[in-house]
Amino acid sequence: MKSADNRYTLVLDSPLGRLGILIRDRRIQRLDYLANTIPLKSAATPLERRVLKQLAQFFVNPEHHFTLPLDMQGTDFQCRVWQALTEIPAGQALTYGELAARLGSGARAVGNACRNNPVPVIVPCHRVVSAAGIGGYAGSTGGREIQRKQWLLRHEGFDGPALKIRQKTPYTGLQHSQQRNLHA
């Protein structure tokens, strides 16, 4: 959770709590979880209204596909991971190791890129889980952040406890050997 400051272009309530959106040069640079004491900021521009509308659509329909302009600043590897995250369908998940194998990297490096994702929810880092359970979220392995990850996964169709996550249907976008059986 970020501290209060005026850098956010848009501050809104969501099922996950208060969200702060930073837009620069007509591109989204950050989405942060904020304390509920941070004042709301209304959408004032067409892009801000579009962001608000697409987030609202996602919270109603978890299969909503975001089509928002992003300015995600990171290393080449982080950008590759973030792009791969957008290719995991709603209601599906990969382990850090599976995503790492797909990218020819290590699981810890993938986890680090997920932790540094500047726009969670829009770029769905919550769809990557640990081989032993839910893993981390937003730089945390417990508390409110993990509750948010659990909420997002359940919202998209997962219905098991955190350590026994299961999905509606297996993700078939990868070879069978790369898939993780998440059914309980």
- Residue 139 has φ and ψ, to the nearest 5°, of 80, 10
Of 113, 125, 128, 146, the active-site residue reads 125
Considering Cα of 174, then 177, then 183, then 184, what sign does the dihedral take? Answer: negative
End-to-end, the C-alpha distance of the chain in Å comes to: 32
Residues forming beta bridges with residue 130, ordered by sequence position: 133
Asked about 125 being catalytic, the answer comes back as yes
Q: Assign residue 64 a region: left if phi > 0, alpha if psi is -120 to 50, beta otherwise? A: beta
User: If DSSP states are collapsed to H, E and C, what string results for 104-119?
Assistant: CCCHHHHHHHHHCCCC
Instruction: Give the Cα separation of 127 and 91 in Å (integer).
Output: 8
Pick from 105, 34, 25: nearest CA to 73? 25
Q: What DSSP line would sit under 68-98, residue for residue?
A: --B-----HHHHHHHHHHHTSPTT--EEHHH
Provide the annotated active-site residues.
125
